Structure 1
Amino acid sequence: MKAIAAAATVRTQAAEAIRAEIINGALKPGQRLVERELCEQLDVSRNTIREACRQLEAEGFLVIPPHKGPTVARLSDDEARAIYEVREALECFAVRLFVERATDEMVARLRDAHAKLKAAHESGRVARMLSTKNKFYDVLYSGAGNEILHAQASLLHGRLAQLRARSLRHQGRPQSSIAEIDEVVARIAERDADGASALWRDHIRNAAATALSS
Structure 2
Amino acid sequence: MGATAEKAEPTEPLRLNAADAIREAIISGDFGPNQRLVEAELSQQFDTSRAAVRNALVQLATEGLVERIQNRGARVRAVSLDEAIEITEVRMVLEGLCAAKAAEHATEADRERLREIGSLMQAAVATGDVLGYSDLNRQLHARILSVSGQTTACAVLERLHGQNVRHQFKLAMHPGRPNVSLPQHLAVIEAVCSGDAEAAEAAMRTHLRSVIETLPEVDKDRTRRAPAGA
Q: Fold-level match, TM-score > 0.5?
A: yes
**Contact 2:89–2:212 under 8 Å retained in 1:** no
Kindly tell me the number of residue pairs found equivalent between the two proteins: 208
Match of 1:108 in 2: 109
CA distance 1:150–1:24, shift in 2 (3 Å): closer
Offset of residue 62 of structure 1: 1.0
Deviation at 1:97, TM superposition (A): 3.4
Question: Could you say if the C-alpha distance between residues 128 and 185 of structure 1 is closer, same or farther in structure 2, counting changes exceeding 3 Å?
Answer: closer
Post-superposition CA distance 1:69-117 (Å, at most 9, x none): 1111122221111111111122112222333x32x52x63364367469
Q: In 1, Cα distance between the equivalents of 2:133 and 2:6?
A: 34
Pair 148,73 (structure 1): closer, same or farther in 2 beyond 3 Å: same
Contact in 1 for aligned 2:85/2:215 (Cα 8 Å):
no
Give the alignment partner of residue 67 of structure 2, picking from 44, 52, 63. 63
Match for residue 192 of structure 2?
188
CA distance in 1, matches of 2:7, 2:133: 34
Given candidates 85, 90, 98, the residue that maps to 1:86 is 90
Cα distance change, pair 72–211 in 1 and its aligned pair in 2 (3 A): farther
Q: CA RMSD in A?
A: 3.8
Query: Where in structure 1 are there 5+ consecutive unaligned residues?
Result: none
Aligned equivalents of 1:134, 1:10: Cα separation in 2? 31
* CA distance in 1 between partners of 2:139 and 2:51 (Å): 30
One-letter amino acid of the structure 1 residue matched with residue 184 of structure 2: E
> Matches of 1:16 and 1:135 in 2, distance apart?
18
Matched, 1:199 2:203: yes
> Is 2:95–2:145's contact at 8 Å kept on the other side of the alignment?
no
Partner of 2:227: none
Change beyond 3 A, Cα 1:133–1:98: closer
Do the aligned partners of residues 94 and 31 (structure 1) sit closer, same or farther apart at CA in structure 2, a change above 3 Å counting? same
SS in 1 for 2:37: coil
- For residues 128 and 184 of structure 1, do their structure 2 counterparts lie closer, same or farther at Cα, with a shift above 3 Å needed? closer
Amino acid at match of 1:97: K
Which of 23, 34, 49 matches 2:53? 49
Q: CA deviation at 1:119?
A: 6.6
SS at match of 2:69: coil
Larger radius of gyration: 2
Q: Structure 1 vs Structure 2: percent identity of aligned residues?
A: 28
Matched position secondary structure for 1:64 = strand
Instruction: Identify unmatched segments of 5+ residues in structure 2.
Output: 220-230
The aligned amino acid for 2:45 is: Q
Query: Is 2:18 aligned against 1:14?
Result: yes
Output the amino acid matched with 1:141.
S
- Normalization by structure 2: what TM-score? 0.68
Pick closer, same or farther for the CA change 1:138–1:114 going to 2, 3 Å: farther
TM-score normalised by L of structure 1? 0.72
Deviation of residue 51 (structure 1)?
2.0
1:117–1:132 Cα contact (<8 Å) kept: no
**Cα distance between partner residues in 1 of 2:45 and 2:176:** 33
